[in-house]
Amino acid sequence: MNTPGYHGRYLRVDLTTAQASSVAIQPDVLRQFIGGSGLGVYLLLHEGAAVVDPLAVAAPIAFVFSPLVGSPLTTSAKFAVVCKSPLTDRINDSLAGSAFAIAGKRTGYDAILLTGRASKLSVLLIDDEQIVIEPAEELAGLTNRETQAAAGQRYGAEYQVASIGPAGERMIRYATISHDGRHAGRGGAGAVLGAKNIKAIAVRGKQRAAWADPQGLVQFAKELSERSFGPATAKYRELGTASNLLLFNRLNVLPTHNFQNGSFVGAEMISPEQLRVAREQTRSSCAACTIGCEHLYGLSGGGSVRLEYENLFALGPLCGIADSESVLQACRLCDDLGLDTISTGGTIAFAMECAQRGFIDAPWLQFGDGASMLRAIQMVVDHHDPDHPVAEKASVGNGSSCGNIGSLLALGSRRMALVIGQDTIHFAPQVKGLEIPGYDPRGLQMMALGFAVGTRGADHNRSGAYEIDFSEAVDRRDVRPESVELAIETEDKAAVMDSLILCKFLRGVLTDFYQESSEMLRLVTGWNITPYELREVGRRIVNAKKKFNILAGWTPQEDTLPERLLCQTVPEDARARLTPERLRSLITAYNLARGWNAEGWLEV
């Protein structure tokens, strides 16, 4: 008999041979890794993914559900996509919300793992026990919205569809997987799916996992939903995450002009407070969510786009853009093409600075020029510079020439810097190859630690260390090694939330996270799991990710920040200064507090 909340198996599809098999997952594995990110990392380690090129035929990619998916618990309709990142060559787990998670779990599997490569561009159809790889070359080049609309028409509304856009098809290393306007965004999972020739996955099913205590679960879910309407989520509900912008600007932690500044003179013009006055605005939410954080803003030419703090920052201040229409158009373009907005903005901002300083010959690409940013985004996917249409290979160096800017941008900022050379890597805004989110680590030094040690690279979702910076617990510009346990706590908690899976916007609603999460698991699975055991699950998952990275070639030298952020003070704030020595002392303390050695090695 299956553990309640689970189907106790995953679907393994070899796309090369078109063979599918059902693989049992042992109950102790489920209890140790829960689901979502945790279970996905376990499956990838089990598959030996760490030593495989992420774009190779043999590379696996897993869509992983969780015990809470399909329950009435608010924000639980989420799925994780776990693979080795083609951007970082390290572990990557990206999460997205909504009905795909519910329909995916109803296929009767706790995860869908793909390996191999379809012979031509295809749609993978999963309908309970029926698995079909259907050629779909006519979908080539379609945007995410077009693909999902076409799949909906062809297969019917009962199917939920996750797709890649043109960026994924062309294996851009920061391509996303999209479902219903939401994205498993970071780290290039879309490129991995593209390498498998899978344009979309369509799922439906009728199988429901049982709940251990249905009455208790419904009652708990009802109370949690009521709490979720309270002040802890008002910011998300009423303003959305974009409301961070003006505060971050005020505190000089808003990365601007490729991290050359910590504040932006045009911030007010693109703030949600201003956008709400000037534009039509609507709200939306994931399936089974009572928070409703999504705020969509109207575009001048019709249509609308979802705006979050991270895409606003990356395609606005980071590129020096104060023109709201350009920012919104850029967000829409990234959504359609299937590009991670943070990596897109970070890479283009880096290219703008390279152009400004003469490292690449692209004088048209300038900070503050919205039209050039939009052109650059399109070129990422097109791999095509209209000024140099015949160039086959990027040619850069000494600012004298540059062939195909599009193909350079498509590499992401780290690989692009390595091609350009001339020490440009010192100001490429990335950690382990993943572009840095919108938190200047010099003024948020607990977050600096979180970025540096993050197994996925610079990441605000796998480490919530900024919560500590925005509290009385530390001096955010003078964080000491004695405080690293606080960063670890946020990282472990994120690992649990990403495995349950619950939205992080729920964290302020839960008064005792581990106690209440244990109770949710007990009601769904029947496990008498203690808060202490759940904490250990978090640590186990972080350790598993670290093990993956070590197997993939991790070295201690990659746990750092770009030299710019370690050598230059934020111009607007003399106290926002981070040194290599301070960061190293934090990292060492972190490693030892994790039970690893001082450099960060653990036995694998």
Contact between 221 and 72 (Cβ < 8 Å): yes
Instruction: Determine, following the binding rule CB under 8 A, whether residue 426 of this chain makes contact with other proteins.
Output: no
471 binds other proteins (CB under 8 A): yes
- Nearer to other proteins by Cβ, of 507 and 584: the residue is 507
Distance of CA 156 to the CA centre of its chain: 29
Q: In what order do the strands lie in the sheet with 130-135?
A: 130-135, 122-127, 198-204, 160-163, 177-179, 182-184
- Please report whether residue 269 would count as binding other proteins according to CB under 8 A: no
- Separation between Cα atoms, residue 311 and residue 341, nearest integer Å: 5
264 touching other proteins, by CB under 8 A = no
Q: Note the Cα 90 to chain centre separation in Å.
A: 14
Cis peptide before 501 (omega within 30 of 0): yes
Q: Is 47 in the site for other proteins (CB under 8 A)?
A: no
DSSP 304-345: EEE--HHHHHHHTGGGT---HHHHHHHHHHHHHHTB-HHHHH
CA triple 399-405-411, angle to 5 deg? 110
Q: Which position has the token pair 């540059």? A: 402
Closer residue to other proteins (CB): 276 or 539 = 276
- Rule CB under 8 A: is residue 145 a binding residue for other proteins? no
CB atoms within 10 A of CB 390: 7
| Near other proteins by CB under 8 A: residue from 65, 466, 548, 554 | 466
Rg (Cα) of the chain, in Å, rounded?
23
Binding status of residue 383 toward other proteins by CB under 8 A = no
> Which among 449, 530, 521, 527 is positioned nearest to 490, based on CA atoms?
449
In the bound state with other proteins, the residue whose beta carbon lies nearer, of 60 and 464, is: 464
Spatial separation of the C-alpha atoms in residues 340 and 377, rounded to whole Å: 11
Residue 33 binds other proteins (CB under 8 A): no
- The total of other beta-carbon atoms located within 10 Å of residue 160's CB is 25
Nearer CB in complex with other proteins: 201/503: 503
Q: How far is the CB of 501 from other proteins (least distance, A)?
A: 15
**With 0-12 CB in 10 A as exposed, 13-18 as middle and 19+ as buried, what is 120?**
exposed
Q: Which of 223, 226, 392, 475 binds other proteins (CB under 8 A)?
A: 475
Q: Which of residues 78-97 bind other proteins (CB under 8 A)?
A: none
| 246 touching other proteins, by CB under 8 A | yes
Please, what is the minimum distance in Å from the beta carbon of residue 315 to other proteins? Answer: 14
Q: How far is the CB of 490 from other proteins (least distance, A)?
A: 11
Identified binder of other proteins from the candidate list 3, 244, 304, 445, rule CB under 8 A: 244
Ranges within 539-598 binding other proteins (CB under 8 A): 575
434 makes contact with other proteins (CB under 8 A): no
In the set 85, 160, 225, 241, which binds other proteins (CB under 8 A)?
241
Q: Which of 17, 302, 390, 472 binds other proteins (CB under 8 A)?
A: 472
Q: Which residues bind other proteins (CB under 8 A)?
A: 230-235, 238-244, 246-248, 250-252, 273, 293, 308-310, 439, 460-461, 464, 466-467, 470-472, 475, 504-505, 507-508, 575
